[in-house]
A and B are shown apart, each in its own frame.
Chain A
Amino acid sequence: MLDINQLRNDFPILHHTLYKRPVVYLDNAATTQKPKVVIDTTSEYYAKYNSNIHRGVHFLSEKMTEAYESARQTVKQFINATYNHEIIFTSGTTESVNLLAFSFGEAFIREGDEIVVSEMEHHSNIVPWQMLCQRKDAKLKVLPITYTGELNLTALPTIINERTKLIAITHVSNSMGTINPIKEIIDFAHQRNIPVFIDGAQGIQHQIVNVQELDCDFYAFSGHKIYGPTGIGVLYGKEKWLEQIPPYKGGGDMIKTVTFEKTIYNELPFKFEAGTTNFIGAVGLAAALKYLNEKGRKEILLYETELYQYALQKIQTIEGIRIIGTSDNKTSIISFLLDNIHPFDTGMMLDKMDIAVRTGNHCTQPLMKFFGIDGTVRASLAFYNTYEEIDYLVDSLKKVKDLFS
């Protein structure tokens, strides 16, 4: 059993008073707070070991390189990749998608080819593919969703065809919290030899991700959404794919030899990591993943699920609440509208009561259009949230209702 109050002590920001009380932080889908071990590791590496990686012969550079490559190993183990070199460090999920869209596109997308995304995708998993389609005269196809906010899988066979070259789907919807049946999609796609990219920005922190078991071809996530630093993220790709696609950025460290006539690219994973990477960010990310392993991934997920169920049931007791996304298979994200109060108004009032939520369209404008709304209020949970905080949220929402009635 996790002692949540004990765990909360690991997160300094949770104890800072904003207006009147310490923050009730329910904007975890936007970014998560950092445990002290991540903050300390980051600052320790700046203080003691900062030195550019893969280049120096000196002590510090060796030490930093070791830490960076060991961080890669930690990530590899965390998602159970086959090889360390299947882990590419990026600046975050957005860069991971852009890298893949460019590199995969260069290698495999020709005029008239098709790429499938879903109607619930974050703009980050739409726009890079759209850009690719424009560049290559390819076509973006959209897998529709149902009114409960689930993927309409029965439409999948009609969406794909022999021109489909890739399916790019989110693991968990950032707007609704729906957990998509990615295994089913991957199996379906593989029977037709179509590779699958999973946007794991909201999945990695709320699910146990085993890329070998899932058999996904690519998986991306951001460090800052899983209690790590900002500016570091991951693209996992199966070796066979990464070998076949060209680099996305040119620069130092991604090359073997350079002459003005021809450049030979470095091997995996360095081929994709041009220039100076966020090496201390990578070490910070590894510290976050180790922290989660230490506290117990399963225990954390169990607590999150219970807390989420409690929050969902409690919020629904408020009269006039409308939950957006009502699938039974959801995690940690509750999107809602309160009466006909504008989400911005609700968010502003909650802020005054020291509650941090996100309001707006959550970078999913097509999804908002589907539901015929401009935006929602989104409360997103992490394992350091408590039952008391949920009660406080619900009481505060009732106050907002009174203010606007």
Chain B
Amino acid sequence: MKSIEEIQHEIVEEFENLGDWVERYNYLLELAKNLPPMDEKYRKKENLIEGCQSQVWLAAEFKDGKLYFQADSDALITKGIVALLLKVFSGQHPNDILDAQLWFIDKIGLSAHLSPTRSNGLVSMIKQIRMYALAYKTKYNL
């Protein structure tokens, strides 16, 4: 498993090979379409992160010391960014998630989507990912 740092570098590289915003958003849409669907059992109210504009579902599983996430969104651009966040965080150790600096979003020019005033659920999703990491760290004394 690659580290969170390595994955962020990879994503930035991929985006650097893309041209204008149309290509970038096309790529996000591709990511959204290819994101594996969430298990039906996770698609419930407790896993819903409500934004004013778009909604995000997030569920976590803890397996062999790693956290695995499933997520979805009703808006495709949000879902594309969700897919990127899963790439970065899913399969990582809770401590690594808690220690990680998230910088790739800025680098690829999508930071506007993560500003707290864009109520699309993404900021809450990242917070929730860290909450899961903290919960499992505490539970298993990692």
Q: Which residues of A contact B (CB under 8 A)?
A: 19, 341-345, 347-349, 352, 359-361, 374-375, 403-404
Query: Which B residues are CB-close (under 8 A) to A404?
Result: 29, 76
List B residues 1-58 near A (Cβ within 8 Å). 21-22, 25-26, 29, 52-55
B25 touches A352 (CB 8 A): yes
A344 touches B75 (CB 8 A): yes
- A137–chain B nearest beta-carbon distance, Å: 31
Is B92 at the interface (CB under 8 A from chain A)? no
- B81–chain A nearest beta-carbon distance, Å: 11
Query: Which A residues are CB-close (under 8 A) to B61?
Result: none
Is B120 at the interface (CB under 8 A from chain A)? yes
Query: Which B residues are CB-close (under 8 A) to A345?
Result: 75-78
Query: Which B residues are CB-close (under 8 A) to A343?
Result: 53
Is B106 at the interface (CB under 8 A from chain A)? no
Is B96 at the interface (CB under 8 A from chain A)? no
B22 touches A403 (CB 8 A): yes
Q: Which residues of B contact A (CB under 8 A)?
A: 21-22, 25-26, 29, 52-55, 74-78, 120
B21 touches A344 (CB 8 A): no
Query: Which A residues are CB-close (under 8 A) to B74?
Result: 342, 374
B54 touches A344 (CB 8 A): yes
Q: How far apart sit A348 and B75, CA to CA, in the bound complex (Å)?
A: 10
Query: Which A residues are CB-close (under 8 A) to B77?
Result: 344-345, 348-349
Q: How far apart sit A123 and B34, CA to CA, in the bound complex (Å)?
A: 38
Of the candidates B21, B25, B52, B54, the one whose C-beta lies within 8 Å of that of A342 is B54
Q: What residue of chain A has the Cβ atom nearest to residue B74's Cβ? A: A342
Using A374-B74, A404-B76 as known contacts, list a sample of 10 further A-B pairs with CB atoms less than 8 Å apart, ordered by residue number in A: A343-B53, A344-B53, A344-B120, A345-B78, A348-B77, A349-B25, A352-B22, A360-B53, A361-B52, A404-B29
- B54–chain A nearest beta-carbon distance, Å: 4
| A–B pairs, 10, beta carbons within 8 Å | A341-B76, A344-B78, A345-B75, A345-B76, A359-B53, A360-B53, A374-B74, A403-B29, A404-B29, A404-B76
B25 touches A403 (CB 8 A): yes
Q: How far apart sit A348 and B78, CA to CA, in the bound complex (Å)?
A: 10
- B111–chain A nearest beta-carbon distance, Å: 14
Of the candidates B26, B29, B52, B78, the one whose C-beta lies within 8 Å of that of A360 is B52
Query: Which A residues are CB-close (under 8 A) to B54?
Result: 342, 344
Q: What residue of chain B has the Cβ atom nearest to residue A374's Cβ? A: B74
Query: Which A residues are CB-close (under 8 A) to B53?
Result: 343-344, 347, 359-360, 375
- A181–chain B nearest beta-carbon distance, Å: 31
B26 touches A342 (CB 8 A): no
Q: What residue of chain B has the Cβ atom nearest to residue A400's Cβ? A: B25
